[in-house]
Structure 1
Amino acid sequence: MKLKPQVLTDEDLVGACVARAEAGSSFVDSNLQAERREVTMYYQGKRPLPLREGGSKFVSQDVYESVEAIKAHITEAFAAGSNIVAFRPQGAADVPLAAQGTEYCEHVLFALNDGLEIINGVTHDSALNRVGIAKVYWDRSELTTGETFEAIPIEQAQQLIADPSVRLTAKPKIEQGQDGTTVVSGEFDRVEDTSQTRIEVVPPEEFIVAGRFKDLSRAPYLAHKTRRTLGELVDDGHDPEIVYSIQGAEDDLALDHEKLLREEDTVVTYLDDESADEAGRIVTVHESYIRIDKDGTGTQQLWKVIHVGRTLLDKQKVADHPFVTYAMLPEPHTFWGGNFAARTIQHANTKTTLTRAIIEQAVDATNPRWQVARGGVANPRELIDNRRGGIVNVRDVNTSVAPLPQTPINPFVLQTIGMVDQAREDTTGISRLSQGLDKKALSHQNSAGLVEQLTSNSQVRSKVMARHFAVQFLTKLYLKIYAIGIENDRDRILEIQGSFVEVSPQSWRRRTHVQVKMTLGYDERDQEAQELLTYDKYMKETGGRLYDETKQFHVLSQVLKTKGHKNVQDFLIDPATLQPPQPDPKAAAELAKLQKETEVLDREMVLKEQNAAHKVQVDTFEARLKEAMQAATIDLKVRDADRKDDETANRIDTAQAELELAIHQALNAPAENVKASAIISPNG
């Protein structure tokens, strides 16, 4: 037969929560409660008990010392608020918003809540009870102050009443003033909204988990059970008729063994909680978070169910549960980690036994037992009383009384105690050197660097535990604080890097990425700061254009933040906010004078260049003219020579022609002209 999802009634929902709560409580009672009680008693120094009546009651504090040492290491690493956990920007434009989110979460943890006590409490519970639990939720609260107003104008009264923070407690009284105007008198409460994100450390006996799971986000059932009065439930907004219908004791936390063990030194009995009225009656309230298909849709959803026994007070769907946990010794594939303190119980037992033996041996040596011969003491009471200056009557001074022989202390006892201490250091990872208790390592013969290196090496395991705290607890805590702020918180003004900035959580985007810095402890921060200072010095000497004022400002700002100084603006000025430097008047005058001299020199240089260019032009022209004249002279001489040659040739031709003419005339001339012997040439 195929089953279909069904809609569950409120009774079915509460019944499922009660069944899961009983299953989770049974698991704790059968598997963890005895271990927690034993560890707590060893931590308080109440175990181991004396082996015999009258024996030494010394108890080694190995469990207490180990727990307090690891608490100090982890608390010191995170309680300073040095931004070890920060939101990772999801782009260049997201850098300022990521910084705002980080500062907001740190403000909520360390300013609005006692962050130091929260870290210390969660670490303490994790060391003694495997897991430390904190609860993060939005606490709606108001601060009411009663005030009165008398004989004020009606307009002013209307403005006062219009204020949303004002609540009238009685009907105002309207009267006529002495001047005939209408005045109003009355009483009112001024209500200030003090709601905030609240973070509380949950005692281990008040936290219930049920089902098989590895990650708390996938747990099928979680619950926080607390003791509340019926009046407090009504103040929380629950229906008074339902609240006062709760019958029976319904207070299973009143006789919880872990709670009674913690409070037995300060609380007489649970009867201290008896109340004279019904409003003060205490009941155990379960705030359950169960994954269940209540609506019959076929998919499980997370429901928040508040109930006392099987009486339902409230139910609603939620997106997430409010719990954050930390396991100091996490083990793969399981939610419950190892018990840190339980691992030191064997060392406490061994050291207690050996130390008691030494103490009892010293006591027996100081006040030994005596062996008495039969009848050797006249009155045995005189020997038993052991009074100062008392007299003991003996029959024979030499043989009547003698000290009872005792076995001497084993010479290897002290060496064994040292071996136990070393074994405890190996088990917990907390050495005497890391606590500053090793005189050999802190000798003046060792340099500060060597001591720091030895100390750092001895803290490796405690640093790993601190990193587990950052990853398991702080990252999830910051994400829950951030999500609650987006949903509920109002605008706030926070100091970010020395400047006051108004942040609006309700306008932020959802975030899922948180990064953890690996510098834990002051020694690593000092080392990182020194590396940055060395880089700054190197870049100033060799960086040139690659290292300007802006980059130097970022480097020095990071140094201050690493050292824990968030008010960077108190030490450095952002170069982006600086005005351009104004010139010195004297330097400006000298610069102007130099500029004028430079201009004169430039003009002289230009004039010289022009003169030189003109001279070059003149020289070039003269050279060309000279060449032209030389060419003309040569041409003239050539032409004169040609002329002379032509004249010579002409004379020769003329003479030849005259000769030919004379011969012709002579041959052809009449007889009368025989006397003419030649022709006179016109050329002479």
Structure 2
Amino acid sequence: MTDDDIQKIVANAIEAAVDFITSDIEPDRQLAQRYFNGEVDIGHEPGRSKVVATKCRDAVRQVKPSLMRVFMTSAKPVEYVPTGPEDVAVAEQQTKYAQYCFTKAGGYKLLNSAFHDAMVKKTGILKGWWDETETVEIDSYSQLTDEAFALVAGDDEVEVLEHTPSVQMVDLPMGPQPITLHDAKVARTNTKGELAIKAIAPEDFFVDSNATCLEDAYICGHRAEKRVGDLVAMGFDFDEVFDLGQGDDDDEAESNRRGFTPDDEEGSADPSMKPVTVYEAYMRVDIEGAGIPRLYSFILAGGKKKLLHYELADMVPFAVFEIDPEPHAFFGRSLVDILIEDQDAGTAMLRGLLDNVAASNAPRLAIDTSSGAVNVEDVLNNEIGAVIRTKGTPMDKIMPVVVPFTGDAAMGALQYFDGVIEGKTGVSRASLGLDADALQSTTAAAVNATVSGAEGQVEVMARNLAEGGMKQLFRLILQIVSQHVGPGEMMRLDGQFVSVDPRSWRLGMDMQANVGLGSDRAEQRVATLQFTLMQQMQMMGMGSPLVTLTNIRNTLADIQAAGGVHNADRYFQPMNPQVEQQLQQQAAEAQQGAPQDPNAILAQAEVQKAQISAQAKQQGDVIRAQTDLQKAQMADDLRRDEMEQKAIIDAAKIYGEFAYKANAADAESIRAMQAEPRNY
């Protein structure tokens, strides 16, 4: 494709996407912004109340602290999950480094802006990129020698702006000598690169109408107002960008974002300050004609959307936050969208209540003016306690028009609508601890159940934000730093500065969102950590290999973090397996080389003596038990022999009396039996 072909394709896609946003999405955003600002579309009669029940703004202000607490109290809002055993250490380092980058980039303000836009204008948009900026420092030097001036001017990053050499006589040991000294003013240019994350105004973000997410979008991007000087600093030619101007719909978008129409004459006296609309779009295009479209980033500018630059891209640098996403659609609902009708109903009832109170407190009067007995000017005076002058007027000439008070019924209706809004937002007076009657004389479990039940909607909003924008943002952070951060990067990890090399990290890690949902999760976490610490201390005392000093130190740091104390190094020394191994080696070496204490030696000898005595006693008891057992076995065997001998002799006697006499051989056989060895 030629540049003209590319410009035509991309410009048409941008115009279609911007038209879709302007016609279908922007009206809802404008309406939501008006209602958040305290406006309604219902009219009012002159002389009646114009108060507005700011339900939308109140709901946003009540939900935002809960969402910020959910994400900012977690040390790891998003955690990279290892894909194998070899990735465990790398995944932990990635998680901590990404959190470090997120905090350094202003994480609190970024989430505050994204959550606010998501609750008011359907989506919150964050953009991440690697920002390389050049800063110029002006330094002045005086009375430099030739060597010193050559050293300063020889730096590649230094430009000499002014240089004034002068010859002066200097007293030296060999006498006064002329020396050339230099006065100079130089400009030193420093280039610094860092991760940049910025909140994009929802009005400036565009996407095609068929998109359901960033991954399947035909085109997406954002527009921004820049100055001619900004584009020149980006490398574009001044004559090329000076006449580009702004887009046709830029004033309206700027007015919707800021609430007022910007001055067109601003900066017109300085050509470099002339505003230019710049479109940064991401789109898949088959520029090479290979039949497979590839992702490109395009920069177009001006009302005619002139193509200035394009290059291949490996990611879409946006993270989209939504609190109530719509399936199969890119844009869901905002919190204000859900409450707009309730603000109208609440405003109508509140106005009626105030009008009824005013009419009841200051009833109108019916007077008879035909006879001239009542002074009309006195009647029209609404001052409290004012006198009405009459001329013998009977009481029926002035009669108050009594207005019945209906405040009780109106208050019931208002409370009903407040309950409806609480069900939609998940924020109630009971969950905030403001309803004393609802929580009075209630057990802790019942209070926790009330608070947890009321937080259901907030938990769903938090989960939608976590699974959507937070995961996209941390995936974006990991991809950016892995491409631009070199191996010399230092990071504070577990109280110590360690070197990280993001370029060697694997980018295919899964991610899981860790959001502390629920009000009682913090107490449960602390209780679990305290129980874990108790178990660790018991195992450490027993010498169990399951627990190390590093494990105990991590538990103590987590307990402090759960209590809001994140600087654990102030109370506990940093600890890791390497430091722990060094401490163990030092303790072993100190024990081997330490001088022997006589008292310690005596105590050790006594202990050894007691151990030997106990062992000897134990062995003696075993030997005695074995001897007694053998004696018992021998005695039993002897009785058995006697019984056998007696039985043989008796049998011989009986046989001899009837057949023959026992001879000597029979006696010898008996003695041989008694002499046989015994097996005990």
For normalisation by structure 1, the TM-score amounts to: 0.79
Residue 144 of structure 2 contacts residue 182 of structure 2 at CA under 8 Å; is this kept in 1? yes
Q: Which residue matches 1:36? A: 29
Cα distance change, pair 236–174 in 1 and its aligned pair in 2 (3 A): farther
Residues 52-77 of structure 1, C-alpha deviations (whole Å, 9 max, x = no match): 11210111111011112222111112
Taking the TM superposition and a 5 Å limit, the aligned residue runs for 1:600-679 are none
- Give the counterpart of 1:148 among 119, 140, 143: 140
- 2:438 and 2:392 map into 1 onto residues whose CA distance is 61
SS in 2 for 1:348: helix
In structure 2, C-alpha distance between the alignment counterparts of 1:252 and 1:488, rounded to whole Å: 36
- State the distance in 1 between where 2:610 and 2:14 align: 98
Distance 1:409 1:596, change over 3 A: closer
Q: Deviations 1:236-294 (Å, cap 9, x if unpaired)?
A: 22121211242x553532233xx424534xx5754463522332221221111121112
User: Corresponding residue for 2:119?
Assistant: 127
Partner residue, 2:319: 324
State which of 465, 469, 492 in structure 1 corresponds to 2:461: 465
Residue aligning to 2:421: 424
The separation in 1 between residues aligned to 2:558 and 2:426, in whole angstroms, is 32
Look up the match of 1:682.
Answer: none
TM-score by length of 2: 0.80
- Distance (whole Å) between structure 2 residues aligned to residue 330 and residue 561 of structure 1: 32
Q: Give, as a single letter, the amino acid of the residue that structure 1 aligns with 2:95.
A: T
Residue matched to 1:226: 224
| Shift in Å, 1:505 | 3.2
**Residue number in structure 1 paired with 2:196:** 198
> Equivalent of 1:372, from 359, 367, 372?
367
2:284 to 280, 291, 301: 291
For each residue in 1:449-484, what CA deviation from the matched residue of structure 2 results, as whole angstroms up to 9, or x when unmatched?
A: 542342223212212221221221122211211221
1:188 is displaced (CA, Å) by 1.4
1:338 maps to which residue? 333
C-alpha deviation, 1:92, in angstroms: 4.6
Equivalent residue in structure 2 for 1:216, among 214, 226, 232: 214
Report the counterpart of residue 635 of structure 1 in structure 2. none
Give the corresponding residue for 2:649: none
Q: Give, in whole Å, the separation in 1 of the partners of 2:163 and 2:527.
A: 69
Query: Which secondary structure state, in structure 1, belongs to the residue aligned with residue 63 of structure 2?
Result: helix
Aligned partner of residue 295 in structure 1, secondary structure = coil
Cα RMSD of the aligned pairs, angstroms, is 3.3
Query: Cα–Cα, structure 1 residues 377 and 424, in superposed 2: closer, same or farther, change >3 Å?
Result: farther
Contact 2:42–2:344 at 8 Å: present in 1 too? no
Alignment of 1:424-463 (within 5 A): 424-443=421-440, 445-463=441-459
Q: Say which is worse superposed, 370-379 or 115-124, in terms of deviation.
A: 370-379
Q: Residue 50 of structure 2 aligns with which residue?
A: 57
CA contact under 8 A between 1:79 and 1:119: conserved in structure 2? no
CA contact (8 A) 2:206 2:222 kept: yes
Q: Does 1:555 align with 2:550?
A: no
Aligned residue pairs, count: 596
Contact 1:122 1:133 in 2 (8 A): yes
Alignment of 1:457-496 (within 5 A): 457-490=453-486, 491-496=488-493
Q: What is the letter of the counterpart of residue 467 of structure 1?
A: R
Give the whole-Å Cα distance in 1 for the aligned partners of 2:518 and 2:147: 61
- Would the aligned equivalents of 1:130 and 1:336 in 2 still touch at CA under 8 Å? yes
Query: SS of the counterpart of 1:435?
Result: coil
Correspondence for 1:237 among 215, 235, 238: 235
The alpha carbon displacement at 1:299 in A equals 1.0
1:168 matched residue in structure 2: 160
Deviations 1:153-179 (A, max 9, x none): 333333334444433335675867744
CA distance in 2, matches of 1:606, 1:20: 92
- Letter of the structure 1 residue corresponding to residue 190 of structure 2: E
Q: Cα distance, 1:577 vs. partner? A: 4.8
Structure 2 CA distance, aligned partners of 1:37 and 1:394?
Answer: 60
Q: How does 1:481-520 map to 2 (within 5 A)?
A: 481-490=477-486, 491-520=488-517
Shift of 1:428: 2.1
Assess if the C-alpha contact under 8 Å between 2:71 and 2:516 holds in 1. Answer: no
In 2, the alpha carbon distance for the partners of 1:534 and 1:54 equals 66
Change (3 A) 1:177 1:116: farther
Letter in 2 for 1:305: F
Give me the whole-angstrom Cα distance separating, in 2, the residues matched to 1:133 and 1:607: 81
2: CA distance, partners of 1:62 / 1:116: 25
Check if 1:83 corresponds to 2:83. Answer: no
CA gap of 1:161–1:119, structure 2 versus 1, over 3 A, is: same
- 1:45 matched residue in structure 2: 38
| CA drift at 1:147 | 0.6
**2:571 is the counterpart of 1:571:** yes
Gaps spanning 5+ residues in structure 2: where? 171-176, 620-680
- Secondary structure of 1:399's partner? helix
Shift of 1:554: 4.2
Please give the alpha-carbon distance, in whole angstroms, between the structure 1 residues aligned to 2:615 and 2:545: 39
Aligned residue among 587, 598, 604 for 1:589: 598
Distance 1:408 1:442, change over 3 A: closer
Instruction: Answer whether contact 1:24 1:210 (CA < 8 A) is retained.
Output: yes
Q: Secondary structure at the match of 1:412?
A: helix
The one-letter amino acid of 2:312's match is K
Residue 207 of structure 1: CA displacement? 0.5
Structure 1 residue 223: Cα displacement: 1.9
Give, as a single letter, the amino acid of the residue that structure 1 aligns with 2:450.
L
- Contact 1:82–1:562 (Cα < 8 Å) also in 2: no
Give the secondary-structure state (helix, strand or coil) at the position aligned to 2:396: coil
Aligned to 2:352: 357
Deviations 1:489-508 (A, max 9, x none): 35433221211223333444
Measure how far apart 1:546 and its partner are: 5.9
Is the Cα contact below 8 Å between 2:3 and 2:307 reproduced in 1? yes
- How far did residue 564 of structure 1 move? 5.1
1:254 aligns with 2:251: yes
SS of 1:141's equivalent in the other structure is strand
Q: Distance in 2 between matches of 1:272 and 1:523?
A: 56
Displacement after TM superposition at 1:187 (Å): 2.2
Aligned runs of 1:526-545 on 2, under 5 Å?
526-538=523-535, 540-541=537-538, 544=542, 545=544
Residues 586 and 278 (structure 1 numbering): CA distance in 2 closer, same or farther, change over 3 Å?
closer
Classify 1:496/1:384 alpha carbon distance in 2 versus 1 (closer, same or farther; 3 Å): same
Higher deviation after alignment, 173-182 or 396-405: 173-182
Matched residues in 1 for 2:305 and 2:154: separation? 44
| 1:189 alignment partner in structure 2 | 187
| CA 501–50 in structure 1, closer or farther in 2 if over 3 Å, else same | same
Q: 1:348 aligns with which of 339, 343, 348?
A: 343
SS of corresponding position for 1:190: strand
Q: Verify the 8 A CA contact 2:163 2:183 in the aligned structure 1.
A: no
Q: Which amino acid aligns with 1:242?
A: E
Tell me how far apart the structure 1 counterparts of residues 612 and 16 of structure 2 sit (CA, whole Å).
102
**2:100 matched to 1:107?**
yes
Q: Structure 2 CA distance, aligned partners of 1:602 and 1:412?
A: 89
Task: Tell me the CA shift for residue 522 of structure 1.
Answer: 6.5
Change over 3 Å in CA distance of 1:484–1:371 after alignment to 2? same
Distance 1:273 1:599 in 2: 94
Q: Distance in 2 between matches of 1:174 and 1:93?
A: 66
- TM-aligned CA distance change 1:15 to 1:448, over 3 Å: same
Q: Which residue of 1 aligns with 2:637?
A: none
CA contact (8 A) 2:144 2:181 kept: yes
Partners in 2 of 1:290 and 1:361 — Cα distance? 60
Q: Which amino acid aligns with 1:278?
A: P
Confirm or deny: 8 A CA contact 2:203 2:257 kept in the other structure. Answer: no
Partner of 1:613: none
Query: Structure 1 residues 237 and 372 mapped into 2: Cα distance closer, same or farther (>3 Å)?
Result: same
